[in-house]
Amino acid sequence: MSLLQVKKMTHYFGGLRAVYNYNLDINPGEIHGLIGPNGAGKTTIFNLITGIYTPTEGDILLDGKSIKGMRPHLIAAAGLARTFQNLRLWRYMTVLEHVKLAHYSKITYGLSGAFFNTRKRSQEENKITQKSMELLKLAGISHLADTVVTNLPYGAQRRLELARALAIEPKILFLDEPTAGMNPEEMLQMMDIIRKVQRQFNLAIFLIEHRMRLVMELSDRVQTLVFGEVVAEGLPEEVRNNPVVIDAYLGKEVET
Amino acid sequence: MKPPIDNSTPTPRKGIRRLWHSFRQLFAQTPLLGWLFGFLLASILENLIGYPLARVLGLSKIPVLFGVDIALKTPLLLPATLLYDLIIYIIPLFLTVRYLTPFANRLAAWLLRAPMWVSALIHMALLFLVLYLWTGINDYRVLVAKLMMVSIIITLSLNVVNGYMGEFSCSHPGFIALGAYIASIITVGFFVGGNLKFVILPAYLAPLVFPLALILGGVVAALGALLVAIPSFRTRGDYLAIISLAFMFIVKSMFENLEILGGARGFGDQPNLATLPVVFIWTMLCIWIINNFVQSTMGKALNAVRDNELAADAMTVDTRKTKMVTFLFAAFWAGIAGGLLAHVIRYVNPGTFGLQKLAEVLAMVYFGGLNSVIGSIVGAIGYNLLSEMLRPLELIKWLIIPLLLILVMIFRPTGLIAFREFDLHKILQPKIPAKMEEVENVPPSS
């Protein structure tokens, strides 16, 4: 059974049809790429599945259960983590605090623990701290744990977003342009990290990316989205050589 | 970049600089315990020789707030008050810091071997002793100290919403009013009688009922907060400011029109239950609980909601619940503070809980520093002290305080001590002497 299934999803912003008849099937451990020109609706699809918008039509199933219309934090707690295209870090918090906070749904000490600093709370906080440090090590930024994020270099901020998303112990990870703004070297490092975490946690990954090299090397399957509709779908090589995709990216040759 | 003038007169600057360094070195080595000893000595001294000394110096009474009020009223007495401050406060403080620091450091280190709360309790007991002795001189000091502590609770609770969570709430005076009236109704109704009379209980029960009355006031304030929160937290930003401002006016006019509670005249005769120890304990409790909350991972969710709500949602944070709980929590403490305030002044009046109170509370929060427990404490104490000290200036006071606020906003836009954690261990720990040579070698900054 597939892990994440989207059936005939359609969404309108007022009169604008942003996504039309979108279908998706992701199996555990699979990396699925989504490409398409700017404004095609890729991020909208992310926002629809993660619960920021509720789709006008269609259904979304995670592990066979419908998550359509659920509030975003519950969808996230159900095992669907994401990173953002333009970094969304909390600017006055330290690196460690970011990763710790992503454990929010697993906190059991409750308000009484928060107010009165019970023993249960300190035990739980210590456990969370340990787990977070391991994730930071995995992302290669454990030495920056106590740095406030505004002082971090860009690449480290991207890695932190990834570590933070992993902290919710996801079954599937949504990456929205994970290498945007990175130089080629940083991109290669990021690819390594993505591969590493995918293997280590047997994660399914749903990836939006503009860099063809990254998409083609990482993905098991690729979809191409143009104006909210999927125009091509299949193995990376198939999609790369599909004339419709080339048209969408480069435009049609005009016969003179 | 540096003009050559700097080199022409190096000697005096260096001398002052060196003096300043050694001065700071001396004080940087003193732990909190040392300071408490110093103030304790000063307070004892004032209790013993304060009055005769004041008479000898030609002052009619002991200067209440370090003589600032006397000096402002009759500037001719400035040298006398300065001399008084020097003898009573500065010299004992200096001597303790100079000679007791090694002992205080050792003691602080020894205390930290036990669990931290032991050390914290001992520090608190010392602090209370200092406060008790210092305010023992006259009733005005008692009042100032109590109001200051109530202000700390108010400021901290508002900082939780405006600083930590980044919403702009204006309804705090309303919550304070709710707490003040509810607690007063209970204590007056059960122990004093008059216009409001339930059953008159024996007076010895009053200290036991008082905390319950305060908590009930807090709960009612929290219920009021629920009324504000439900419509406004579905939107963001300015809407909460407007709705909460409306709430404040609704509460104010409600109490103005409740004739049974004295209407706009207000009502008094609250029993004297908010004594110095009671207010002190509530303040410490408030600081402890709020500090626990904001340092927990659950409390960090407030910062996440403030800085990026979308990301908070995506990281499993229940933002709606976080906002609700926080707002109610802050209102609860505002209610407690209101109850205490009513019993400190022993009179409540709807006019107190208007725009001016709001401005005052906001000023304390933004003056002290957003997102910081220590900032709120500093803000509340600083504002209250300043406000009381400058009282003789009357109208001019309202030029000086806003001017100071503007200066703070220009040079430290988020407040004096913003975004700093209240690290108890760091505060209580002994101060290891820093190396003098390192400081010496630092080139003077331009």
- CA–CA min distance B123, chain A (Å): 19
* Confidence check: pLDDT of B187 > 60: yes
Q: Average pLDDT for residues A77-90, to the nearest whole number?
A: 92
pLDDT at B31: 87
* Confidence check: pLDDT of A47 > 70: yes
* Confidence check: pLDDT of B441 > 50: no
- CA–CA min distance A94, chain B (Å): 11
Structural domain total, chain A:
2
pLDDT at B407: 92
* Confidence check: pLDDT of B71 > 90: no
Tokens of B341: 């305030």
pLDDT at B315: 94
Helix (H, G, I), strand (E, B) or coil at B268: strand
pLDDT at B151: 97
pLDDT at B439: 40
Q: For residue A74, how many C-alpha atoms fall within 13 Å in the half-sphere facing its CB?
A: 10
Q: Average pLDDT for residues A176-203, to the nearest whole number?
A: 89
Q: Cα-flanking dihedrals φ and ψ of residue A26, to 5°? A: -125, 130
pLDDT at B159: 96
Same domain, A145 and A220: no
Alpha-carbon distance of A198 to B265, in angstroms, equals 71
- Highest mean pLDDT, choosing among A179-193, B27-41, B181-195, B356-370: B356-370
In CATH, what number is assigned to the domain containing residue B259? 1.10.3470
Percent of chain A beyond pLDDT 90?
A: 72
Same domain, B232 and B99: no
Who contacts B140 (Cβ-Cβ below 8 Å, separation ≥6)? Answer: B64
Q: Average pLDDT for residues B46-75, to the nearest whole number?
A: 87
Same domain, B66 and B184: no
- CA–CA min distance A253, chain B (Å): 42
* Confidence check: pLDDT of B196 > 80: no
pLDDT at B428: 84
Give the single-character DSSP code of B61. Answer: S
On whether any CB of chain B is under 8 Å from the CB of A127, the answer is no
pLDDT at B436: 40
A80: nearest CA partner in chain B: B314
On whether any CB of chain B is under 8 Å from the CB of A169, the answer is no
Tell me how crowded residue A216 is: count the other CB atoms within 10 A of its CB: 17
**Cβ atoms B172, B358 nearer than 8 A:** yes
A173: nearest CA partner in chain B: B314
* A84 to B310: CB separation less than 8 angstroms, yes or no: yes
Q: What is the pLDDT of residues B378-426, one digit of tens each?
A: 999 999 999 998 888 888 888 988 899 899 999 998 899 888 888 888 8
The residue with greater pLDDT, B7 or A231, is A231
Residue A84 lies in a domain: no
Residue A149 lies in a domain: yes
Same domain, B365 and B417: yes
In terms of Cα–Cα distance, which of B170, B153, B143, B160 is closest to B385?
Answer: B143
- CA–CA min distance A73, chain B (Å): 4
Q: Which class for B353: exposed (0-12), middle (13-18), buried (19 or more C-beta within 10 A)? A: buried
The DSSP secondary structure of A187-247, one letter per residue, reads: HHHHHHHHHHHHHHHT-EEEEE-S-HHHHHHH-SEEEEEETTEEEEEESHHHHHT-HHHHH
Residue A12 lies in a domain: yes
Same domain, B147 and B112: no
- CA–CA min distance B162, chain A (Å): 15
pLDDT band at B445 (very low <50, low <70, confident <90, very high): very low
Alpha-carbon distance of B191 to B177, in angstroms, equals 21
**Cβ atoms A56, A12 nearer than 8 A:** yes
* B289 to A76: CB separation less than 8 angstroms, yes or no: no
Q: What is the pLDDT of residues B281-338, one digit of tens each?
A: 999 999 999 999 999 999 999 999 999 999 999 999 999 999 999 999 999 999 999 9
- What residues of A are in contact with residue B319 (Cβ under 8 Å)? 73
Structural domain total, chain B:
2
Q: Please name the amino acid found at residue B346.
A: R
On whether any CB of chain B is under 8 Å from the CB of A151, the answer is no
Residue A93 lies in a domain: yes
The domain boundary residue, chosen from A143, A161, A179: A161
Q: What is the pLDDT of residues A112-145, one digit of tens each?
A: 999 998 999 999 999 999 999 999 999 899 999 9
Q: Average pLDDT for residues A151-161, to the nearest whole number?
A: 91
Of A50, A113, A114, the CB nearest to B314: A50
Alpha-carbon distance of B233 to B309, in angstroms, equals 12
Same domain, B109 and B161: no
* A116 to B292: CB separation less than 8 angstroms, yes or no: yes
pLDDT at B21: 80
Tokens of A109: 């000490």
Same domain, B283 and B172: yes
User: ipTM of the predicted structure?
Assistant: 0.90
The residue with greater pLDDT, A249 or B215, is B215
pLDDT at B123: 93
Of A73, A116, A121, the CB nearest to B316: A73
In CATH, what number is assigned to the domain containing residue A236? 3.40.50.300
* B313 to A89: CB separation less than 8 angstroms, yes or no: no
- CA–CA min distance B313, chain A (Å): 5
Same domain, B274 and B419: yes
Alpha-carbon distance of B162 to B165, in angstroms, equals 6
Same domain, B151 and B291: yes
pLDDT at B2: 42
Same domain, A109 and A185: no
**Cβ atoms B379, B155 nearer than 8 A:** yes
- CA–CA min distance A240, chain B (Å): 32
pLDDT at B73: 83
Same domain, B107 and B233: no
Same domain, A54 and A112: no
B308: nearest CA partner in chain A: A90
Tell me how crowded residue B91 is: count the other CB atoms within 10 A of its CB: 14
- CA–CA min distance B413, chain A (Å): 15
* Confidence check: pLDDT of B202 > 60: yes
B418: nearest CA partner in chain A: A92
A106: nearest CA partner in chain B: B316
Residue B252 lies in a domain: yes
Same domain, A143 and A203: no
Q: Average pLDDT for residues B102-110, to the nearest whole number?
A: 88
The domain boundary residue, chosen from A105, A134, A161: A161
Q: Average pLDDT for residues B247-267, to the nearest whole number?
A: 92
Same domain, A223 and A248: yes
Same domain, B203 and B77: no
Same domain, A174 and A255: yes
Percent of chain B beyond pLDDT 70?
A: 93
Residue B266 lies in a domain: yes
Of B292, B313, B419, the CB nearest to A114: B292
pLDDT at B437: 38
Alpha-carbon distance of B347 to B266, in angstroms, equals 7
Residue B130 lies in a domain: no
Residue B124 lies in a domain: no
Q: Average pLDDT for residues B261-279, to the nearest whole number?
A: 91
Q: What is the pLDDT of residues B334-354, one digit of tens each?
A: 999 999 999 999 999 999 999
Same domain, A118 and A222: no
* Confidence check: pLDDT of B14 > 70: no
* B315 to A76: CB separation less than 8 angstroms, yes or no: yes
pLDDT band at A253 (very low <50, low <70, confident <90, very high): low
The residue with greater pLDDT, B45 or A253, is B45
- What residues of A are in contact with residue B325 (Cβ under 8 Å)? 111
- Dihedral over Cα of A224, A230, A236, A242: its sign: negative
pLDDT band at B12 (very low <50, low <70, confident <90, very high): low
pLDDT at B192: 87
* B313 to A103: CB separation less than 8 angstroms, yes or no: no
| Strand-pair partners of A205 | A31, A173
pLDDT at A111: 92
Q: What is the pLDDT of residues B29-47, one digit of tens each?
A: 888 888 999 999 999 999 9
pLDDT band at B7 (very low <50, low <70, confident <90, very high): very low
Structural domain harbouring A96: 89-161
* B307 to A90: CB separation less than 8 angstroms, yes or no: yes
Length of chain A: 256
* A104 to B298: CB separation less than 8 angstroms, yes or no: yes
Same domain, A152 and A195: no
On whether any CB of chain B is under 8 Å from the CB of A147, the answer is no
In terms of Cα–Cα distance, which of B407, B405, B359 is closest to B382?
Answer: B405
The domain boundary residue, chosen from A161, A179, A213: A161
pLDDT band at B440 (very low <50, low <70, confident <90, very high): very low
Same domain, A250 and A183: yes
Residue B444 lies in a domain: no
* Confidence check: pLDDT of A4 > 50: yes
Tokens of A70: 């659920």
Same domain, B56 and B143: no
Residue B199 lies in a domain: yes
- What residues of A are in contact with residue B324 (Cβ under 8 Å)? none
Residue B445 lies in a domain: no
Alpha-carbon distance of B58 to B327, in angstroms, equals 53
* Confidence check: pLDDT of B10 > 50: no
Same domain, A181 and A59: yes
Structural domain harbouring B56: 14-116
Residue B68 lies in a domain: yes
* A101 to B300: CB separation less than 8 angstroms, yes or no: yes
- What residues of B are in contact with residue A100 (Cβ under 8 Å)? 297, 300
pLDDT at B424: 84
